[in-house]
Amino acid sequence: MERRPRRGVAALPYLLIAPTLFFVALFTLWPTVLVAFDSLFLQNEAVQVPQFTGLGNYAALAGDSAFQQVVLNTVLYVVVTVPVSVVLALVLALALNRKLRALGLFRLAFFYPAILPMVSAATIWLFMYAPGYGLVNVFLGILHLPGQNWLGSANLALIALMILGIWKQTGYFMIFYLAGLQGLPHEVFEAANLDGASPLQTVRHLTLPLLMGTTLFVTTIAVVNAFETVDQIYIMTGGGPTNATTMLLFDIWQTLFSFFDQGKASAMSVILIGVLLIFTVVNFTQVERRATYE
């Protein structure tokens, strides 16, 4: 006769995850619900008592040309920095996943930007982008190219922030790829080598599919980090010139703490949460199917 599990044993898994669920609900789900609720009200300096407006804040954002520019800036930043950072991280990991002289020094050199606080990194690049004496313009002068006002030009300021973002996070993603590469089964690669597979074929047909799980994780945190761009904007450009570098999270911070428009800031927060949630779900459902963990 089959014995039924005792109630205590059956409830043990739920008891183990209960503390985590409690803190997730308290510090993530509940604030999200409050923000969604606040986005339905008109709350700013001109309105002393919050007024229910339904989707009015969202409608106002949809017709706001400045917010459309912010969304465009954010999308461009994500579309450029995420693929470039992930690809460079993979290339560096492949290059450093072998026996080389002073291998630890090379790994540290590429990982060092990730150790720096973003405020320090932004300050360093603020000096490097300085017109006239900045290292970037000095290097351009050596190549007999004209110097640029990187942070003062509406066409170049966002590109300058992209370069900083790629430099800052590539080494961080490289560490995850290195860990993934070192966990791959060596027998598979030895068999491919005996079959005469070229290095390019090995990377394309073995390494990349086996690293799909790592790529899933790296791309997810890369997109989240890209949407969280605030510190470097505050230090280097302040969102300018002419709103050319204002991105979504910085615009939320500015709307709430500079313009004191809680309703509008809450609506933008809901949009940000929705975009990240949709991306994460789509990324996991599409990439997870092709991921190989063994």
Domains and CATH numbers, the chain: 62-290 (1.10.3720.10)
- Rounded to an integer, the average pLDDT of 146-150 is 91
Q: Residue 28 and residue 132: Cα distance in Å, rounded?
A: 47
Q: What pLDDT, on the 0 to 100 scale, is given for residue 1?
A: 47
Q: 66-116, pLDDT tens digit by residue?
A: 999 999 999 999 999 999 999 999 999 998 888 777 788 888 888 999 999
DSSP string, 41-94: EE-STT-SS-EE-TTHHHHHHHT-HHHHHHHHHHHHHHHHHHHHHHHHHHHHHH
Global pTM?
0.89
On whether the CB atoms of residues 38 and 262 are closer than 8 A, the answer is yes
Q: 231-289, pLDDT tens digit by residue?
A: 999 999 999 898 999 999 999 999 999 888 999 999 999 999 999 999 888 888 876 66
